[in-house]
Structure 1
């Protein structure tokens, strides 16, 4: 009952789906930028709201587009992860170019983050390249998609937008990306080279091609194991904390890669219902809220009151969204089991 597709939605269904688009377009940038509380905007409600004007199209519409592509081609979780990785590479390698920068936004500790794992031949830091792309995959796209879809599981497999709607989303995403790129090019001294940008685009296209390939029959033939929603929540929570607290060193990079491999193995080989996927996403988002208490913003003059009130507010946002989505996903699972 909860996953039946409707090719001709009613007016009420259209309104619900547009509300889901709006919710994801707002929730994704919050997860991508505001939960970590690293910027000078921390604790400033007006600046945070103004930031959504650019961040909602940049992160939110990218998340909506990923979700629509997966829904229209039935790409599943594997396709979602690969498309999210493609957008993450474009974001970090082409749009804000943080993957290749020698300095970034005047962050004083930038050298401490990048130099220990610098790979001169590639022009990247292994630590920042890994954490930036992984952060976009998890927090900018996949986790927000799972949480928002579970708020209304009845349409989790449906298209939310018409072709015109998708076209508008694409245009607004590109415009916001170009605005961000133009700002970075105008204020930063360090820029990615043409070769570096070309490599990032080539890698993103490779990931898109992988998303649309069909090796899932192999994964379907492999024996899968059961995991409870509680365990998946804890895996997401502990995994997220491990990645966020990993030091910017080769050992820290190995910890991040190992944790990502474990999360990917769970996603590919565990039997994950909607409820279990939501629990995993909930744990990951909550981990970012908790680790944000362990440091102050990397730039700007932010008071302790601003910092911790910001943290508390967004941890409440994640708790509300996470618990609501878990409850709705569980109800849908029970309904499906009853119908079966």
Structure 2
């Protein structure tokens, strides 16, 4: 069965049409590292170094999905593939037992894979939802063309090259800082996992959505569910006392969230506002979660808290703007 919803970019994309892609290019690393609290506001210059990897990946995933007429399920799967690439190849944190000196793989260690169950579940979840999917949803909610390609062939090629440059540069930088190298078997496993996920994204995208009848919760309720669910997921991963139990609870939350939101989103009363509310709830989780985190990269507590406040405020303003634009579109 072929996909009849393929969308092709217009011949004249123009600078104005490509602006949302540029916004996504910088929003993705902003959410992934700065809103989370990993990098303080004093390190804002790092945004330009991170954008090719995070932003290039987000733009590439979004453009490929929308050109093929695929929905968010395919985007989520491709976002997971992105996470496997970043953590399996560029940082190798999935396999490095002493990554950043944190011993992240000790809890729930899987010896024959050389991986840690809770760390794998957590870091791939972070990338799937927050690094890629949430920025895409927010930027599409701000766009006048949320389901259309934003780039022509040249623009798409540029972002694809930027993504490759980001992967290569990040990998090379990591190699200069840490002597650890993943085994051949681990690298093959990463390649196979990425290939399987891409194939799954294609399969899901070609099948298309199956709309059903039934009621959906109010938009604000969906937002609260997104906030509470993602906050609970983060809190579980903040307190890894039993690695296997932590991984199991995190996976359970993941499965329940997927089942719940897939069920709701298939119903005819589900709108773009509901999708934005779910993503907005997750985005606010990152905003509050940054405050109890310890300062990073040598920043003082004051600088760290100021930065967290600024980034949280920017997130709120962005979500309000996206809500206004999205509501106007839904009502029109």
TM-score (norm 1): 0.88
Cα 1:9–1:167, aligned 2, differ >3 Å: closer, same or farther? closer
Corresponding residue number in structure 2 for 1:139: 130
Counterparts of residues 191-270 of structure 1 (less than 5 Å): 191-214=181-204, 220=210, 225-246=215-236, 247-248=239-240, 249-270=243-264
- Structural mapping, 1:1-340, within 5 Å: 8=10, 14-38=14-38, 41-44=39-42, 47-49=43-45, 51-106=46-101, 110-111=102-103, 113-152=104-143, 154-214=144-204, 220=210, 225-246=215-236, 247-248=239-240, 249-271=243-265, 272-297=270-295, 299-335=296-332
Say whether the 8 Å CA contact 1:242–1:255 is kept in structure 2.
no
Looking at structure 1, the residues matched to 211 and 141 of structure 2 have their Cα atoms a distance apart, in angstroms, of 27
Q: Deviations over 1:140-179 (max 9, x none)?
A: 1000000001012x30111111111111111111111111
Q: How many pairs are equivalent?
A: 318
Relative to structure 1, the CA distance from residue 251 to residue 222 in structure 2 (aligned partners, 3 Å threshold; closer, same or farther) is: farther
Q: Which runs of 5+ in 1 are unaligned?
A: 336-340
Q: Give the CA deviation at 1:286.
A: 0.6
**CA distance 1:221–1:21, shift in 2 (3 Å):** closer
- Structure 2's unaligned 5+ residue stretches are 1-6
Q: CA deviation at 1:16?
A: 2.9
1:219, distance to aligned residue in structure 2 (A): 6.0
1:219/1:268 contact within 8 Å kept:
no
Kept in 2, the 8 Å contact 1:289–1:315? The answer is yes
Query: What SS is found at the alignment partner of 2:44?
Result: helix
Deviates more, 1:181-190 or 1:309-318: 181-190
Residue 267 of structure 1, CA deviation: 2.9
CA deviations over 1:3-57 (Å, ceiling 9, x no partner): xx895476xx73332211111011100111111213xx4131xx322x1222111
Tell me how far apart the structure 1 counterparts of residues 58 and 147 of structure 2 sit (CA, whole Å).
15
Give deviations 1:168-199, integer Å, cap 9, x for gaps.
11111111111110111111132221211110
Between the aligned partners of 1:171 and 1:219, the Cα distance in structure 2 is: 31
Report the TM-score, using the length of structure 2 for normalisation: 0.90
Root-mean-square deviation (CA, aligned residues, Å) is 2.0
Distance 1:224 1:191 in 2: 51
